[in-house]
C-alpha cells in the first residue's frame, strides 16, 4: 500500500458528489461539472489509494461512462495517462502522486472494455481507431485543448496513434515499452529478428475463450502476471476488481483480437501502418528485461519521430516499468514534460 498526503473522503457507499456539494474556483467548477466524484470505501482500490490524494471519478462520454482517477491542482497543466494490459489506471498510482506534487493535473481513465459502462459487445468495437477516438472525446469533455500524453503497453500504442492523428492536441508524447507502430510492425515481420517469437503469446490471447484460462484456478495465470510486477496479493486486488470476471477480461482481450500489429505493406506505400511520423516532442522508454518487446523495435522508433526525441533505456527492468521502476520513471517523466510548456485548457 502507498501512503502520502491524505485526501480521501469518507462514506459508506459508492456515492456521487456533484457540483452543488461544494464551492470552488473556476477551474474546479469545470472539473465538477464534467466529472462525478465517487466514494466507494468498500473497494480494494479505495484501500490502496488511501492517503495518496488520488480521487476516483467517472466521466460521461456520449453513450459511455468511463471510470477514472484524478489528482493534482485543477489549474495544473494537464497530463493524461493510458494503461496497458492486463492493468488498469491503478498502475499509474506512483506517477500520479509524483506529477500531482509537481503541480500537474493528472487524469487516468480505465479505457474501453475496462470500465463496466464502456464495454460494448463484439470484437469490432475494439479497433484502434475507436480506442483513439475515446481519448479525443475524453479530452474534449475535460476541455483540454492541449495536454501531455503518456501511455504504457497498449496505452502506448493508443498514445502513438493519437499523436499521429491529433498532434495539435498534444504538448508532449511519452510512450513506454511499446515502440512506434511502424517500428513494431517492421520488427515483428523481420524473419531474422526476435520480436515474432517474443510476441507469440498474442496467438493465445486472441483465442476465443482465453479469458477462461486466465481466470481458471482462482485466476492463477492472471495473478502470475501481476507477480512479475512484484505485487503482493493485496496489491493485486484492485486489478482483479477490474478484470476478474470473464466479461471484463474478454473485453480487454478484444483489443488483441480486433487489431493487427504486422499488416502487409499498404498499397502503393512503403509502410505497413497508417500512423505517420510523430512531429511532437517525444520520449520513448524501453526496458532491457522486457520479455514482450525487443530492442529492435525500440531502436527503430527514432526513424519515425521527426520532433525532438529522447530515448531512455531502463537497464535490468522488466515490462512493468510503472511499478517496478516507479522512482526512475517519475524522475525522467517530470524532467521531460517540464521542458515543454504550452497554452492549455
pLDDT one-digit tens code per residue, 115-150: 999 999 999 999 999 999 999 999 999 999 999 999
Neighbours of 99 (CB within 10 A): 25
Please compute the mean of the pLDDT values over residues 97-117 and round it to a whole number. Answer: 98
The per-residue pLDDT for 261 is: 82
**All structural domains of the chain:** 15-337 (3.40.50.1820)
The per-residue pLDDT for 166 is: 98
CA distance linking residue 305 with residue 309, whole number of Å: 7
Q: Is residue 7 scored above 50 in pLDDT?
A: no
pTM over 0.85: yes
Q: Are β-strands 147-152 and 170-176 bridged in parallel, bridged antiparallel, or unpaired?
A: parallel
Amino acid at each position: 500500500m502507498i501512503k502520502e498526503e491524505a485526501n480521501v473522503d469518507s462514506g459508506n457507499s459508492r456515492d456521487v458528489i456533484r457540483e452543488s456539494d461544494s464551492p470552488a474556483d473556476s477551474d474546479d467548477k469545470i472539473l465538477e461539472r464534467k466529472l462525478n466524484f465517487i466514494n466507494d470505501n468498500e473497494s480494494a482500490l479505495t484501500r490502496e489509494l488511501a492517503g495518496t490524494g488520488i480521487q476516483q471519478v467517472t466521466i460521461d462520454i456520449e453513450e459511455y461512462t468511463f471510470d477514472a482517477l484524478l489528482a493534482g491542482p485543477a489549474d495544473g497543466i494537464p497530463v493524461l495517462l493510458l494503461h496497458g494490459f492486463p492493468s488498469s489506471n491503478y498502475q499509474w498510482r506512483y506517477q500520479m502522486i509524483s506529477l500531482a506534487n509537481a503541480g500537474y493535473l493528472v487524469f487516468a481513465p480505465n479505457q474501453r472494455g475496462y470500465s463496466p459502462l464502456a464495454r460494448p459487445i463484439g470484437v469490432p468495437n475494439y479497433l484502434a481507431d475507436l480506442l483513439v477516438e475515446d481519448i479525443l472525446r475524453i479530452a474534449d469533455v475535460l476541455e483540454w485543448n492541449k495536454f501531455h500524453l503518456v501511455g504504457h503497453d497498449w496505452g502506448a500504442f493508443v498514445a502513438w496513434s493519437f499523436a499521429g492523428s491529433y498532434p495539435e492536441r498534444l504538448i508532449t508524447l511519452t510512450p513506454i515499452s511499446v515502440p512506434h507502430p511502424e517500428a513494431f510492425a517492421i520488427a515483428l515481420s523481420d524473419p531474422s529478428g526476435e520480436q515474432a517469437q517474443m510476441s507469440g503469446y498474442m496467438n493465445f490471447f486472441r483465442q476465443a475463450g482465453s479469458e477462461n484460462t486466465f481466470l481458471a484456478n482462482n485466476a492463477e495465470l492472471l495473478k502470475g502476471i501481476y507477480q512479475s510486477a512484484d505485487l503482493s496479493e493485496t496489491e493485486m486486488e484492485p486489478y482483479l476488481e477490474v478484470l476478474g470476471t470473464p466479461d471484463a477480461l474478454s473485453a480487454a482481450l478484444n483489443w488483441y483480437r480486433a487489431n493487427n500489429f504486422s499488416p502487409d505493406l499498404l498499397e502503393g506505400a512503403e509502410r505497413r501502418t497508417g500512423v505517420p511520423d510523430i512531429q511532437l516532442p517525444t520520449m520513448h522508454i524501453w526496458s532491457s528485461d522486457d520479455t514482450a518487446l525487443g530492442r529492435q523495435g525500440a531502436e527503430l522508433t527514432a526513424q519515425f519521430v521527426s520532433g525532438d526525441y529522447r530515448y531512455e533505456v531502463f537497464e535490468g527492468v522488466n515490462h512493468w516499468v510503472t511499478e517496478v521502476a516507479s522512482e526512475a520513471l517519475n524522475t525522467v517523466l517530470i524532467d521531460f514534460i517540464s521542458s515543454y510548456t504550452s497554452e492549455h485548457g
